[in-house]
Amino acid sequence: MRAAMNTKRNLVTAALVAPAAAWLFVFLVLPFVAMLVFAFGERAPEGGYQAAFTFAQFANLPTRATAFWNTLLLAPAGALLCLVVAYPTAYHLAVKANPRYRLILVSLVVVPFWTSLLVRTYAWMYILGSRGIPNLLAMVGIEDVRLLNTPGAVLLGIVYGYLPLMIMPIYVSLEKLDRRLLEASADLGAKPVSTFFGVTLPLSLPGVMTGVALVTILLLGEYLIPQLLGGGKVFFIGNALVDLFLQSRNWPFGSAIAVTLVAVVVVVLMVAMRIAWRVAGTRQVDLV
């Protein structure tokens, strides 16, 4: 009887997870295996893939060094820039803001993250483009200002696109902060500044870590922002991948780059987790 019930229970469990398991296997695990196989193959003469076992694609990686350097430089730089803007904002929302308006203010920060990144990036293309700010500057006599297609424009787009994702985890960690600790610190004669650096900042570090890690990881695979605001001059790994797959059709080389990108993401993730572990217990991120 008990055995029969256990069998039935197991069958129900299996039936519940089966569709998702199949989906994960067919559309995540298998594609990764395929990509790995392609990365060791050769480019067919007419483009695409030809079976082989060679490390030539990986040996070729230095030819795309610029894309890697741009990404590895601008992704963390963008994340840190986000942090500089995000921390005071999150602090204000969690500690200073009127509780009555807090929910609305927080919503106003989250909502842009869930609206089309393409449209939000386009907005800056529109503003920085020749008919936007440079046009206005020309009216007051400052001619030939170029803003679009510069590293600065890409960084601006990054901060704009990912600011909400940086603010949220920091806000969550600051909101959970026990107010009594701050009062205790003040009662013991600490100045507000030393309370901040001695109590608030260390306790919000997990949120900071989550935010920096999340934004950096997402930026490593970014395509739209460098494409639209960097205009082919400031390109990321994502741009190299689109070029290799959809234009020059060198699939094995593209796969090798994609595999390398995943390896970089994994390394960044592991470093972040190691640091987060040391700083405090990891904390879940509330994206919505």
Partner 1 sequence: MRAFISSVYLFLYAPIALVVLFSFNAGRSASEFTGFSTDWYGKALGNTFLVSALQNSLIIAFTSAALAAVFGTMAALGMERLGARMRALFDALFAAAIVVPGVVIGIATLVALVAVFSFLNPALAALWPGDRPPQLGLGYGSIIAAHGLFSMALVTMIVKARIASLGRDIVEASSDLYATPLTTFRLIVLPQILPSILAGFLLAFTFSFDDFIIAFFVAGSKTTLPIYVFASIRRGVTPEINAIATLVLFASLLLILTARILMREKRSKSGE
Query: Please, which of residues 188-227 interact with partner 1 by CB under 8 A?
Result: 217-218, 220-224
Residue range at the interface with partner 1 (CB under 8 A); choices 173-181, 183-191, 196-204, 250-258: 250-258
CB atoms within 10 A of CB 115: 10
If one asks whether residue 120 binds partner 1 (CB under 8 A), the answer comes out as yes
Which residue stretch of 59-67, 171-179, 188-196, 238-246 sits at the interface with partner 1 (rule: CB under 8 A)?
238-246
Half-sphere exposure of 259 (CA within 13 A, CB side): 20
Distances (CA, A) of 128 to 72, 143, 154, 156, 228: 25, 14, 11, 10, 11
Intra-chain end-to-end CA distance of the chain, in Å: 45
**Residue from 76, 132, 152, 198 that binds partner 1 (CB under 8 A)?**
132
Q: Which is nearer to partner 1, 188 or 246 (CB)?
A: 246
Applying CB under 8 A, among 109, 172, 199, 229 the residue interacting with partner 1 is 109
Instruction: Give yes or no for residue 251 binding partner 1 (CB under 8 A).
Output: yes
Told to check if 122 binds partner 1 by CB under 8 A, we report yes
Which listed range, 57-65, 189-197, 199-207, 255-263, lies at the site for partner 1 (CB under 8 A)? 255-263
Which of 93, 90, 40 has its CA nearest to residue 252?
A: 40
What part of residues 7-66 is at the interface with partner 1 (CB under 8 A)?
9, 12-17, 19-21, 23-24, 26-35, 38, 48-49
**Distance (Å) of CA 66 to CA 47, 63, 127, 276, 284:** 24, 8, 28, 30, 35
How far is Cα of residue 124 from the mean position of the Cα atoms in its chain?
Answer: 19
Of residues 64-93, which lie at the interface with partner 1 (CB under 8 A)?
85, 88-89, 92
Residue with tokens 């600051």: 174
Size of the site for partner 1 (CB under 8 A): 82
